[in-house]
Amino acid sequence: MNNDSSHFGKEKVVIAIIDSGVSSDLNIKAKIKYSCNMSRNRSIEDGHGHGTALVGMLDEFCDNKVEFLIIKVLDDQCRCTSSTLLRALDIAIEMEPDIINLSLGTEDLSLRSQFEARWRTALSKDILLVTTTNEDNMSLPFMISGTIGVKANRALLNDRELYVDDHSVFHAIGSPHIIPWIKGKYVFINKNSFAPPYFIREFVNYKLNNYSSDNYSALVEFMKKCPLITKLNIKTLNAEMPNDLELYSNLLTIVRKIIPGFKEERSTFSQGLTMNGCLDILFSSEIILDHKIPFTHFNLHDFEYLSNLSNKIQKNV
């Protein structure tokens, strides 16, 4: 174990991430205040990619507002025992972070009372236990009332929107979105596992902007500001006018190398743009702009029209 302090201050929001560790290839701005591996191997090096994705998303989403506690439980096949998961929760709760991101769980429902005991302890320490679930919604600790459940909803196209349902479960963007992976790679994905960081980003901003010291009080007020999912109106994606004509022209040059004969007024995907092509556009844009682009801020719908992509890049550099 690596622990630089017996006290975890609250100057920044502290997030414990219980997952597969983090890749040493990932450039993290936030401080890792504590790390441990629940196996005999002390390294938190990620051999799968799942944990790297979560850490990378939260690092780019929350910028300099957070600090991390990294607890590795998942092996290279993204598996661990339920007993290991419960022990990891004990360690995380003992550290008293603001949030525990648990983008994994178990389908062994016989363990409900043990997970409930951990949730009650977390609650007594004002720790938000942020969870997600499988496609059947039958997993622990997601099923425990009081945990903050977050799911991906494919009807949501805007990555800054959060909705809540009548079970107090948050719904985040379900469009394929970009996440970092091991060996410096990026991939598109739209699984529930990667929905919690969207909630955490918005909650962290709300908590800090409102100078809230109490996490659960902030959560109650934050939830009131999230519209009900039943109020969701499906929006049609339309092409925007580009705000930066020079950037737009540079993007047009890039895309025409990928798709010869590209027609800028038409959808990129109708002309053969692939997910790998989307990533190539961002990598090439970084070179032209000489500026790092936060890839995790982009989802597949951002690439539908070139003018929309130009405006999104402009907002994020």
Q: Over the stretch 224-238, which tens digit does the pLDDT of each residue have?
A: 999 999 999 887 889
**Residue 80: predicted pLDDT:** 95
Q: Is pLDDT above 60 for 251? A: yes
Averaged pLDDT, 267-282: 97
Out of 231, 259, 293, a domain closes at: 231
Q: Is pLDDT above 90 for 286? A: yes
For residue 20, give its domain range: 2-231
User: Whats the size of the chain, residue-wise?
Assistant: 317
**Is there a single domain that holds both residue 274 and residue 214?**
no
List 34's β-bridge partners, or say none: 3, 69
**Residue 10: predicted pLDDT:** 55
Q: Rounded CA gap, 192 and 237, in Å?
A: 23
pLDDT-wise least confident of 7-11, 23-27, 140-144: 7-11
Strands 163-164 and 2-3: unpaired
**Is there a single domain that holds both residue 151 and residue 78?**
yes
Beta strands in 155-294 (DSSP E): 163-164, 170-173, 177-180, 186-189
Confidence of residue 39 (pLDDT cuts 50, 70, 90): confident
> Is 58 within 8 Å of 69 (Cβ atoms)?
no
Classify residue 238: in a domain, yes or no.
no
Token representation of residue 8: 């975890």
**Is there a single domain that holds both residue 194 and residue 293?**
no
**Is there a single domain that holds both residue 249 and residue 225?**
no
Three-state DSSP at 206 gives helix
Q: Rounded CA gap, 289 and 282, in Å?
A: 10
Counts of helices then strands in the chain (DSSP H, E):
8, 11
Classify residue 203: in a domain, yes or no.
yes
**Is there a single domain that holds both residue 181 and residue 282?**
no
Please state, for a pLDDT cut of 90, what percent of the chain lies above it: 91
**Is there a single domain that holds both residue 9 and residue 158?**
yes
Residue written as token pair 């919604």: 137
Please state, for a pLDDT cut of 70, what percent of the chain lies above it: 97
Q: Rounded CA gap, 250 and 285, in Å?
A: 8
- Supply the Cα-derived Rg of the chain in whole angstroms: 20
Q: Rounded CA gap, 84 and 71, in Å?
A: 11
Q: Rounded CA gap, 10 and 67, in Å?
A: 10
**Is there a single domain that holds both residue 99 and residue 185?**
yes
Residues 6 or more apart whose CB falls under 8 angstroms from that of 138 comprise 107, 109
CATH code, domain with 294: 1.10.1200.10
As for how many domains the chain has, the answer is 2
**Is there a single domain that holds both residue 151 and residue 254?**
no
Residue written as token pair 């993007």: 251
In 125-195, where does DSSP find H-type helix?
none
> Is 163 within 8 Å of 170 (Cβ atoms)?
yes
Averaged pLDDT, 21-25: 97
Count other C-beta atoms under 10 Å from residue 287's C-beta. Answer: 9
**Is there a single domain that holds both residue 300 and residue 221?**
no
**Residue 41: predicted pLDDT:** 80
Confidence of residue 14 (pLDDT cuts 50, 70, 90): very high
Confidence of residue 299 (pLDDT cuts 50, 70, 90): very high
CATH code, domain with 172: 3.40.50.200
Amino acid at 191: K
**Residue 2: predicted pLDDT:** 47
Confidence of residue 140 (pLDDT cuts 50, 70, 90): very high
Q: Rounded CA gap, 207 and 198, in Å?
A: 14
Residue written as token pair 């961002």: 282
Amino acid at 95: M
**Is there a single domain that holds both residue 186 and residue 258?**
no
104-134 per-position pLDDT tens digit:
999 999 999 999 999 999 999 999 999 999 9
> Which of 162, 180, 184, 140 is closest to 52 using CA atoms?
180
Q: Rounded CA gap, 93 and 172, in Å?
A: 26
**Is there a single domain that holds both residue 199 and residue 250?**
no
41-89 per-position pLDDT tens digit:
889 999 999 999 999 999 999 989 999 999 999 999 999 999 999 999 9
Task: List b or e across 162-172, with b for residues whose CB sees 16 or more CB atoms inside 10 angstroms.
Answer: bbbeeeebbbb
Classify residue 80: in a domain, yes or no.
yes
> Is 223 within 8 Å of 202 (Cβ atoms)?
no
